[in-house]
A and B are shown apart, each in its own frame.
Chain A
Amino acid sequence: MMYDTIDIALLLAKIALVFFVILTLAAYLVFAERKVLAWIQDRKGPNRVGPFGLLQPLADLIKLLTKEDFRPIGADKWLFYLAPAMAAIPAIMIFAVIPFGAPLTLFGHTVLLQVSDLNVGLLLFMALSSIAVYGVALGGWASNSKYALLGSIRGLAQLISYELSMGLSLVPVVMLARSFRLSDIVNAQSGCWFIVYQPLAFVIFLISIAAECKRIPFELPEAEGELVAGFHTEYSGMRFGLFFVGEYINIIVLGGLAATFFLGGWHGPFLPPVVWFSAKVLAFAFLFIWMRGTLPRLRYDQLMHFGWKILTPLALVNIVVTGWWLVLRG
């Protein structure tokens, strides 16, 4: 394979841009969550650092970086240190296949607003999201603490249950778009968004990604009320920060994927594509925060029953119906 110097430069620029935007957005999503939750609960939220508290993420970062980084006695040294990175890196890697805007033309080059237009993009997302659970599992196990271990076991069981319904809810999308390539899926929705054809698949996917990013009502791996802080009980400083930021990166990435699969990606009238895409991602982020502010937590067995006995069969029926519909439509 031969690459142009310009292509490599553009690729590196895109990667740098994605990293910068996502990390900044994740930091401000934490801030937005605190503000929105405060608003829901009739409080003021962080408002001391900078105008309207806007510099709060910076203050949090300084606090996390300067905190003592300690390791409990009896912890598995290497796995304890590596686990936070294992949780955060796959989340940000998924963004490589998400198209965040219409292709541009710069200096005679067509620039895809997507780091890599892989022909198995959808599968890459499935692969990386199934790898991401190792961070949670190993972090909790290596801490050598029973609360952390319980959180990890819950995380694993939750992932095994929800990965399946998430994958199955995406099968109709692939059937409609006839491709695993995310740019093809977006282009197939230029006329009509897939949420119109597949409302059920959209709902299943939405529930599954809420479980995937461990948000209320599915935040059992953390469950402050019962497990102290779940899998990251023993973590402090920036290692805890990585787990925390990884969760918010996950919200952004999964919101972007939901927009790509069901809401037409960057398609939309009047406004520029990048603006449309960002608006959809932020809408999903807001939805997740809203859910956290309003919903109670499910019990562990309720969650498993719901995943295996309701979501998975529904997703299977949905696939069969979509198949018949496609055949009969011709």
Chain B
Amino acid sequence: METYLFYILATVTVIGTILAITEKHPVHAIVYLVTSFFSLASIFFLLSAPLIAMFEVIIYAGAVMVLFMFVIMMLDLGRADEAKRPPLRQWFLPVILGGIILVSIGVLAAGYVTTPHAPGAITVRDFAVTLFRKYGVAVEIISMQLLFAVVGALYLGRRRP
């Protein structure tokens, strides 16, 4: 049952992501990407990681994509015909980086041994303890970085005399 569900959700995720990339209309691309995030969250849920599943929806589908949509609607960027293929020069670096990632995935997949599934779901408590005890310093540094971004945005958006 869960295996079938996984394959259905995985198909939706992959197709949704591909369509989000190939779609020329930005609003449609966002709808496809949100669909993909949603089914990815369901996959996380199947893998007994409900917390990650919820974060995926709240942060990516709920917050980031809503913000994207807000900007697209506000600035009226939804013109499909303006989307042009980038020049060949700009393709160079992404292709190299993508190649590196693909090769690494290939190497990892070749040496992959199936390990028995971790027993039970990871509780919210375990997650919190790991995040704030073990990686507490890193969390603080990242939150400082977000604070810098907020201060920067405030500076950029300040009312000029």
Residues in A lying within 8 Å of B, measured CB to CB: 1, 76, 79, 118-120, 123-124, 126-128, 130-131, 133-134, 137-138, 141, 149, 152-153, 156-157, 159-160, 163, 179-180
Contacts and interface: CB of A to CB of B under 8 A. Distances in A.
B40 interface: no
Interface stretch (B59-67, B84-92, B133-141): B59-67
Nearest first, the 10 closest Cβ-Cβ pairs linking A and B are A130-B62, A123-B54, A127-B57, A156-B70, A120-B50, A127-B58, A120-B54, A127-B54, A126-B58, A153-B73
Nearest to B69: A137
Main secondary structure of the interface of B (DSSP, over half): helix
B58 A119 contact: no
A163 B61 CA distance: 13
Contacts of A160: 63, 66-67, 70
Interface of B: 1-2, 27-28, 31, 34, 38, 41, 50-51, 53-55, 57-58, 61-63, 66-67, 69-70, 73-74, 78, 121, 123-124
Given A1-B2, A118-B50, A156-B69, A131 B27 contact: no
Contact of B34 (A119, A120, A126, A134): A134
B143 to A, nearest CB: 13
Nearest to A156: B70
Contact of B50 (A119, A126, A130, A134): A119
Nearest to A118: B50
A130 B63 contact: yes
Contacts of B74: 153
Given A130-B63, A156-B73, 20 more contacts: A120-B50, A120-B124, A126-B58, A127-B54, A127-B62, A128-B57, A130-B57, A130-B58, A130-B62, A130-B66, A134-B31, A137-B73, A141-B27, A141-B73, A149-B73, A152-B73, A153-B73, A156-B66, A159-B66, A179-B124
B66 A133 contact: yes
Contacts of B57: 127-128, 130-131
Given A153-B73, A156-B66, A138 B31 contact: yes
Contacts of A152: 73
B62 A131 contact: yes
Describe A's contact surface by its main secondary structure. helix
A157 B69 CA distance: 10
Nearest to B67: A160
Nearest to B50: A120
Contacts of A79: 27-28, 31
B66 A124 contact: no
Contacts of A163: 62-63
Contacts of A149: 73
20 contacts: A79-B28, A79-B31, A119-B123, A120-B50, A120-B51, A120-B53, A123-B58, A124-B54, A126-B58, A126-B62, A131-B34, A133-B66, A134-B31, A137-B73, A141-B73, A141-B78, A153-B73, A159-B66, A160-B66, A163-B63
Contacts of A126: 54, 58, 62
B24 to A, nearest CB: 13
A1 B51 CA distance: 19
